Amino acid sequence: MAIITLSRGTYSGAKDLAENVAQNLGYKLLSRETILGELGQYGWADEKLSKAHHKKLSMLQRMNLEWVHYQACLRAVLSEAAQTENLVYHGNNGHIVLQGFPHLLNIKVVADMEDRIKAVTARNEYAIDRKEAIRIINRIDERRDRWSNFLYQADMNDISSFDMVVDLSRKSLEDAYEMIRSAVSLPQFQPTPESKKIIDDLILAAKLRAKIAMETDVVDDEIEVEIKDGMLNVKGGVHSLDDAEELKQFLSSQPEVTQLESHLESSPSGMGDV
């Protein structure tokens, strides 16, 4: 059992590989598009995200708190999908969103430019030429890189962030699947009672963090929520004593919370630990 993330280059074949792996392993298949649809439960409509993707970076930076909330909600949705493991997720930044989960196999899927050009040309029913195909690929790559850097300060081309790189220009889908199947068969990907508890705690923490984002008026851009051995620990910076008190009362009122420790710290204006 494993949680497999496939980070896809534009027209690299990651979707086909994800479908192949999920079908052969009997795993659930999720795409970034499916997950974004689930964000509606937190008020993130498709139109809102689509418009944001086309905003200039300077404007996105002015919406920093809103994007902190987006990250919190995305982790909550994707974490819940990963609860039973046996998951293949293809999109971008899945390896970052699910950071900390056990049994995580992060794969970067790449392909030569020539193969990518053929793929985008075929997708457009051969109605575009080579120059236009390259322009489309470069534009999408640039946008994805920009978002990864903005949201997570991550370089999607840094292969050290991944456990495996699969080049579909040099490997068939069947060979790539065999590599992945062999990896998830290793002992470190087998579930244990301890790993199940870690996953449950991470999911609950992610849900509570998303609730803070969407259900409170606290300025929460520096807030973190952790759960270990039944103890919820909320930490980070708050902007006022009122924010700290509201946050503690909100978390204490959640039926899932039985024990709470607060390690909130003051903003630069200073008010001591709260």
Dump pLDDT digits (tens) for 179-210: 999 999 999 999 999 999 999 999 999 999 99
Q: Which residues of 221-258 are buried (b: 16+ CB within 10 A; e: fewer)?
A: eebebbbeeeebebeebbbeeebbebbbebbeebeebe
Q: According to the model, what pLDDT value does residue 61 have?
A: 53
CATH of the domain at 133: 3.40.50.300
Q: According to the model, what pLDDT value does residue 63 have?
A: 56
* Same-domain pairing of 37 and 95: yes
* Same-domain pairing of 130 and 247: no
Q: What is the pLDDT of residues 80-139, one digit of tens each?
A: 999 989 999 998 889 999 999 999 999 999 999 999 999 999 989 889 999 999 999 999
Q: According to the model, what pLDDT value does residue 272 have?
A: 45
pLDDT exceeds 50 at position 273: no
pLDDT exceeds 70 at position 41: yes
* Same-domain pairing of 229 and 104: no
* Same-domain pairing of 184 and 254: no
pLDDT exceeds 70 at position 268: no
Percent of the chain residues past pLDDT 90, beyond the cut? 60
Distance CA 79, CA 184 (A): 19
* Same-domain pairing of 134 and 221: no
Tell me the average pLDDT across 20-46. Answer: 86
* Same-domain pairing of 141 and 14: yes
Tell me the average pLDDT across 218-231. Answer: 91
Percent of the chain residues past pLDDT 70, beyond the cut? 90
Domain count, the chain: 2
Query: Does a structural domain hold residue 204?
Result: no
Enter the pTM of the model: 0.86
Q: What is the mean pLDDT of the chain?
A: 88
* Same-domain pairing of 116 and 160: yes
pLDDT exceeds 80 at position 24: yes
Domain of residue 117, residue span: 3-189
* Same-domain pairing of 118 and 235: no
Q: According to the model, what pLDDT value does residue 53 have?
A: 56
* Same-domain pairing of 181 and 245: no
* Same-domain pairing of 34 and 128: yes
